[in-house]
Structure 1
Amino acid sequence: MLRIEGLRAGYGEAQVLHGVDLSVGAGEVVTLMGRNGMGKTTTISTLFGLLPARGGVVSIDGRDMTGAGPHRVARAGLGLVPEGRQVFPNLTVEENLVATARGRGPWSLQAVWDLFPRLKERRRNMGDQLSGGEQQMLAVARALMTNPRLVVLDEATEGLAPLVREEIWACLARIRAEGAAILVIDKNADALSRFADRHYVLEKGQVVWTGSNADLLADVGGVKERWLHV
């Protein structure tokens, strides 16, 4: 469904990505891991047209979408849960959800309430009245309300309490069960190895390791030691 080939991007004179290759098939769960500052968010920003590509190709369903605006990427079936959540602080929880809702599919307001009962309880609260964990749930739910075929989660559980992290991992299993593909950016190799199909590791803007979930499980300690630990 998604293929990134030789992607290069950066900020000003600083080159951050140096030929990133990555793919996600329909219904697949793929991870992008790496330490802070290695290019994970830059990859996502370039994928969604928030940062111009300096080289390489981004294709969705075989169509060249390199440099396409965020609205075109969204219409192609990608939904983003951005780093830092970025919920609308002056809208209620329910308004955050219906503001971006589109398309027919499994994700309606009721389906989101079923997935995150806590959001239903707080549906009349403003976005800035939620805890960090609740804001992350809202960011995930907002992406689902676009009924995407591929959900991209940037730093899915960063800064969250352990119980909230487990809730997010459980919700990803539900998303997959509904047929959507997932690209998740995180550093928690142990949690990701419980449900992902394939993995990529970035180091200084390049893919330095890629493999199946079985490959990761066979050497999870080595992968963490070489490329994930600070």
Structure 2
Amino acid sequence: MLSVRHLQAGYGAAQVLFDISLDVGAGEVVTLLGRNGMGKTTTIRSIMGLLRPMGGEVRFDGAAVTGQAPYRVAQTGIGLVPEGRQIFPTLTVEENLIATSATRTGRRWTLGSVYELFPRLKERRSNLGTQISGGEQQMLAIGRALMTNPKLLILDEATEGLAPLIRAEIWSCLKRLRGEKQSILVIDKNVDALAGFADRHVIVEKGRSVWTGTSAELTADTTLKDRYLHV
């Protein structure tokens, strides 16, 4: 579904990505792992067209989307939950969800199904984006992305800064989506939680994808965390 090959990108004269390659198949959950500053978010920005790559290729559903405008990339069927949530602060919870609603083939996410997934959002549906907690904002960001009915859901720092109970609720949500065959690419630092439900993992080090493997392989190789993930 998503194929990234030898992606290179940066900001001005500062190159951040030198050789990123990864794949996400239909119905797969794939993680992008690595220490801070290794290029994970830059990879997502390059995939989404928020940053124009210097080289390499991004293909989605067989079509090249490298360097296309973000709205064009989104129209192909990729839904983004960005780092920092970036919900619309002057809209209500319900207005945030309705604003991104789009019809695509496959499952039809509606207000009702998002509220069923996240009952707290239904309780807060009349609150402005600034009047809900950080955890609720993250739920809203996920619900907003699902309302685009994406073929691929991308989450950048899925549980960063969230309380343990809210974090567990987000993991539960992602496990449920996986069970429904939703393709997901996720960045997060909670490796043990990710290994519990992700199909494959890609480790990024200094702008290069240096390791790819299954959850079983990640768990079995005790040197990987020390080499690439621990500070």
The answer to whether TM tops 0.5 is yes
On the 8 A contact 1:93/1:119 being kept in 2, the answer is yes
On the 8 A contact 1:30/1:183 being kept in 2, the answer is yes
Q: 1:15 deviation in Å?
A: 0.4
Q: 1:70 deviation in Å?
A: 1.1
Q: 1:60 deviation in Å?
A: 0.6
Query: What is the rounded CA distance, in whole Å, between the counterparts of 1:208 and 1:22 in structure 2?
Result: 11
Partner of 2:13: 13
Partner of 2:134: 132
1:110 aligns with 2:117: no
- What is the SS of the residue equivalent to 2:71? helix
Q: 1:189 deviation in Å?
A: 0.9
Map 1:188-203 to 2 at 5 A. 188-203=190-205
Unmatched runs of 5 consecutive residues or more in structure 1: none
- Runs (4+) off by over 4 Å: none
Query: What is the rounded CA distance, in whole Å, between the counterparts of 1:213 and 1:114 in structure 2?
Result: 29
Partner of 2:226: 225
Q: Cα RMSD (Å) of the superposition?
A: 0.9
Partner of 1:144: 146
On the 8 A contact 1:106/1:178 being kept in 2, the answer is no
Opposite residue 86 of structure 2, the aligned amino acid is Q
Query: What is the rounded CA distance, in whole Å, between the counterparts of 2:219 and 2:65 in structure 1?
Result: 34
Q: 1:178 deviation in Å?
A: 2.5
Query: What is the rounded CA distance, in whole Å, between the counterparts of 2:180 and 2:73 in structure 1?
Result: 21
Map 1:149-228 to 2 at 5 A. 149-219=151-221, 221-228=222-229
Query: What is the rounded CA distance, in whole Å, between the counterparts of 1:179 and 1:199 in structure 2?
Result: 17
CA deviations on 1:124-149 (whole Å, 9 max, x unpaired) are 00001111111000000000000001
On the 8 A contact 1:8/1:53 being kept in 2, the answer is yes
1:123 aligns with 2:138: no
Count of residues in correspondence between the two structures: 229
Q: 1:177 deviation in Å?
A: 2.4
Map 1:12-161 to 2 at 5 A. 12-104=12-104, 105-161=107-163
Q: 1:120 deviation in Å?
A: 0.4
Unmatched runs of 5 consecutive residues or more in structure 2: none
Query: What is the rounded CA distance, in whole Å, between the counterparts of 1:126 and 1:177 in structure 2?
Result: 31
Compare 103-112 and 50-59 and name the one that shifted more.
Answer: 103-112
Opposite residue 155 of structure 2, the aligned amino acid is L
